[in-house]
């Protein structure tokens, strides 16, 4: 189940306060391939083990926040820096 649209309207990155939007299917597919190869790291340095079914992309396109069971995980250490991960 996707993030509630009303919630999505008020969510912002906790670090930069930029708005976030749902990540596209192409980006999720690329990231999930990297997860399967154990190549994707969170900003906290941990390998991302579970595939991303949904995620929120910061307005500047650099940071991704995972969504778990329709709940956005808006913790900086759980986010994924797409530039540091080769995206």
| 28-44 confidence digits (pLDDT tens) | 999 999 999 999 999 99
Structure letter (DSSP) for residue 48: P
Report d(CA 8, CA 23) in Å as an integer: 12
Confirm whether 87 is domain-assigned.
no
Confirm whether 12 is domain-assigned.
yes
Nearest Cα neighbor of 60 from 8, 20, 28 is 20
Token duo for residue 46: 């941990």
Whether 87 shows a pLDDT value over 90: the answer reads: no
Confirm whether 45 is domain-assigned.
yes
The pTM of the full predicted model, rounded to 2 decimals, is 0.93
Confirm whether 66 is domain-assigned.
yes
**Residue 13 is part of which domain span?**
5-81
Confirm whether 55 is domain-assigned.
yes
Mean pLDDT value of segment 7-23 = 95
Whether 56 shows a pLDDT value over 90: the answer reads: yes
4 phi and psi angles, rounded to 5 deg: -55, 130
Give the number of domains in the chain.
1
Whether 53 shows a pLDDT value over 80: the answer reads: yes
Token duo for residue 62: 């650099």
Confirm whether 86 is domain-assigned.
no
């Amino acid at each position: 189940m996707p993030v509630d649209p009303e919630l999505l309207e008020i969510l912002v990155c906790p670090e930069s306060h930029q708005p976030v939007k749902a990540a596209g299917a192409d980006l999720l597919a690329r990231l999930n391939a990297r997860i399967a190869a154990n190549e994707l790291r969170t900003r906290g340095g941990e390998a991302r083990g579970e595939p991303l079914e949904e995620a929120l992309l910061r307005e500047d396109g650099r940071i991704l926040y995972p969504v778990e069971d329709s709940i956005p995980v808006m913790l900086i250490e759980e986010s994924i820096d797409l530039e540091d991960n080769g995206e």
